[in-house]
Structure 1
Amino acid sequence: MKVLLGRRQFALSGLIMLAACAAPLSRPTFKKYAGPPVTEVRVYKAQRRLQLLSGDTVLKSYQVGLGNEPIGHKQFEGDGKTPEGLYYLDRFNPRSSYHLSIGISYPDKWDKAHAAASNQDPGGDIMIHGRGPDGNRLAPQNRDWTAGCIAVTDDEIEDIYAMLQPGTPIRILP
């Protein structure tokens, strides 16, 4: 009986140790960045290019996918367009359906006023994000597959996520 009780105690302590070891694995791991600060993000929609700049120096450049209606400025919910103009990075989501995502401050007060004048909703939740499972399925057939976001590969969003800070300006050009 003593041996059986000892095995139960050993099995229970083993399960507790396994659970403790598994806990850190469920949290996302993040890359570190120790280079020059990114002072601006620029997106050139026509070239499908995102650049991370420190002053006038381009630190990194990436090919991107855009909204499924890539020409023109986003005006209304559901128009499939990526906004154009000056915005700011305002939130970071480590649990995004698209691997990782970084929020863009669209809509600003002008976007809201324009949409309201047309009795429309300006939309929102515009992000720079990875592909995640849905994007990995859609991107090979259509480079512009998002509902207005800016998409890169999952590996690339990990680098971008590490390099950026809230409040960084993002200039999205036609």
Structure 2
Amino acid sequence: MKKFYILLTLIAVLAICFYQYGRATWHPLVVKVMGKKTVSEVIDEYGPDARNKLKPIFNQKGVFYPPPKLSFVAFKDTDTLEVWAANDNESYTLITSYPVKAASGELGPKLEEGDRQVPEGIYKIVGFNPNSAYHLSMKLNYPNEFDTYHANHEGRTEPGTNIFIHGKASSIGCLAMGDEAIEELFTLVHDAGRSKTTVLISPTNPSLNSLEIPVDAPEWTAELYRQIESKYRAINPLKG
């Protein structure tokens, strides 16, 4: 009987691990059986609740919803994602912030496929995935022109790809926000427009800390950090 309970416990642990970390394997099968959802269907499902939460916050901050300009600013050292927005011809206002539930890797730029690093830089959202294994996801344009230039210059043929902001709470190089948060962020970007949205990923908050170059980081990291700080100052010009 004791061996039976040990075996049962082991099976349960393996099942939980497979559910948590094997989503890329089993989730496509679920989607195949249940059928794919469109972006419109997801917005119809989650949009009303998300907007009911977001619109009062935007109204309180004096920014239209959906905002004409939208920026997500993520700080890797504190696992925080801030939402900044602005009306036309006005400066940005901090709307709200979300905890990042999981983000693998260390401070410093992403260099290659499989290094589990969250990239650092200035990115755009280039796609929505309403059938993500991580509930919902938004794809970033990593590697961007800066990343690609330095990868080519250094002979790195696989700098990595498929970096997302998504739900759930596990990450191998993405920003995992949890399901409720991604429903709000997904709806927000959908309503504002991907072309009006910028994503800035910084190792730390430039208003509070200097952007220190990690040991063994490439020489061009200094240039990258200058770009990150300049972009952040355009969003938040106030020095902390």
User: Could you tell me the TM-score, scaled by structure 1's length?
Assistant: 0.72
CA distance in structure 2 between the partners assigned to 1:72 and 1:66 by the alignment: 16
Among residues 70, 74, 78, which one is paired with 1:39 in the alignment? 70
Q: CA deviation at 1:154?
A: 0.4
Among residues 116, 133, 136, which one is paired with 1:100 in the alignment? 136
Q: Is the Cα–Cα contact under 8 Å of residues 66 and 82 in structure 1 kept in the other structure?
A: no
SS at 1:47 equivalent:
coil
Deviations along 1:49-73, one digit per CA (max 9) or x if unpaired, are 1011113212221010454213211
CA distance in structure 2 between the partners assigned to 1:155 and 1:171 by the alignment: 21
Q: Is the Cα–Cα contact under 8 Å of residues 66 and 148 in structure 1 kept in the other structure?
A: no
Deviations along 1:83-142, one digit per CA (max 9) or x if unpaired, are 1111111111111000000111110122123223233311111110001xxx4xxxxxxx
- Structure number with greater Rg is 1
Q: Which sections of structure 1, spanning at least 5 residues, go unmatched?
A: 1-22, 136-144
Q: Is the Cα–Cα contact under 8 Å of residues 75 and 114 in structure 1 kept in the other structure?
A: no
Q: Percent identity?
A: 32
SS at 1:53 equivalent:
strand
Structure with the higher fraction of residues in strand conformation:
1
Q: Which sections of structure 2, spanning at least 5 residues, go unmatched?
A: 1-34, 56-64, 87-91, 204-240
Is 1:57 the equivalent of 2:93? yes
Q: How many residues of Structure 1 are paired with residues of Structure 2 in the alignment?
A: 139
Q: CA deviation at 1:36?
A: 4.3
- Aligned residue in 1 for 2:172: 147
Q: CA deviation at 1:46?
A: 1.0
What is the RMSD computed on CA atoms of the aligned residues?
Answer: 2.2
Q: What are the residue-to-residue correspondences of 1:1-174 with 2, within 5 Å? A: 28=42, 29-32=45-48, 33=51, 35-37=65-67, 39-55=70-86, 56-116=92-152, 117-131=154-168, 135=169, 145-164=170-189, 165-167=193-195, 168-174=197-203
CA distance in structure 1 between the partners assigned to 2:161 and 2:110 by the alignment: 10
Structure number with greater CO (CA < 8 Å, separation at least 6) is 1
User: Could you tell me the TM-score, scaled by structure 2's length?
Assistant: 0.53
Q: Is the Cα–Cα contact under 8 Å of residues 142 and 161 in structure 2 kept in the other structure?
A: yes
SS at 1:80 equivalent:
coil
SS at 1:30 equivalent:
helix
